[in-house]
Amino acid sequence: MNLDHVFVCGNPALDFAATLRARRSARSEMFVTPERLNAWYVESGIVDAVSPGQEADVERAKTVREAIYLLVTARRLGQGYDGTALTLVNDAARKPPAVPQLTPRADGRRRRRTKPSPWWRATPSSS
């Protein structure tokens, strides 16, 4: 468990927006690695487990987070929504949820079967 991640807003979107701490002073970025992003997703209760993330996932998460922050701030101040931020958040929300995929073991081995099973050759691009 990562004690740096706190969930006090009562809403996952607000807690997500709060992962850039001290925005107006000495900023503190919570998503410095894919592992930290993955930990936040699990600790938030949004998911039970995640696949290993990539740097591109961190950058996408930060972009969505900042769009959420802009929208929340506009709402709080009674201002109109930023169209780009609204589109970005809606596009992220439209993505289908992750689908579990069967993959080979990390060591490349597979269990011995009497009849070869084709599933172990499956990759995300072939599904």
Q: Is the pTM of this model over 0.75?
A: no
pLDDT at 122: 45
Percentage of the chain beyond pLDDT 70 is 73
Cα distances from 118 to residues 68, 94, 114, in angstroms, run 42, 32, 13
Domain boundaries, the chain: 12-126
pLDDT at 48: 81
Amino acid at 61: A
pLDDT digits (tens, 9 = 90+) for 49-90: 888 889 999 999 999 999 999 999 999 999 999 999 999 999
H helices within the chain, ranges in order?
12-17, 34-44, 55-77, 83-94
